[in-house]
Amino acid sequence: MHDIKTFINTPLNELKKMSIGEKVELLTYKKDRKIVITKQDQGTFHVVEDGFEHKEFKNIEAAKLEHLLKQLKSVEFPKNRKYYMVKHML
């Protein structure tokens, strides 16, 4: 479990270390909403939002991923103070 203040930096740091095809799953405290980020290539990611809204973002560049996470945080994690991060390794 992580503090919501680290919502942007912690997943981005983990994704830098991961291999292609591996995933990071960000879940709310109640685990009823989530964001799944899959590393497609060295600089591109696939993001799936599954909570209040159900959206899919394909071929997101690393530079734009931080901005997208900020937007998704305000939609899916509006009042949360903690979140879970699950890593899916190959």
DSSP string, 34-86: EEEEEE-SSSEEEEEEESSSEEEEEEEEHHHHHHHHHHHHHHHSSS-SEEEEE
Which pTM does this prediction carry? Answer: 0.94
**In terms of Cα–Cα distance, which of 67, 32, 30 is closest to 47?**
67
- The answer, yes or no, to whether residue 90 has pLDDT greater than 90, is no
What domains can be seen in the chain, in order of their start residue? 2-88 (3.90.70.20)
Q: What is the pLDDT of residues 30-89, one digit of tens each?
A: 999 999 999 999 889 999 999 999 999 999 999 999 999 999 999 999 999 999 999 999
CB-based contacts of 37-42 (< 8 A; 24+ apart in sequence): 37/11, 37/65, 39/15
- The answer, yes or no, to whether residue 12 has pLDDT greater than 90, is yes
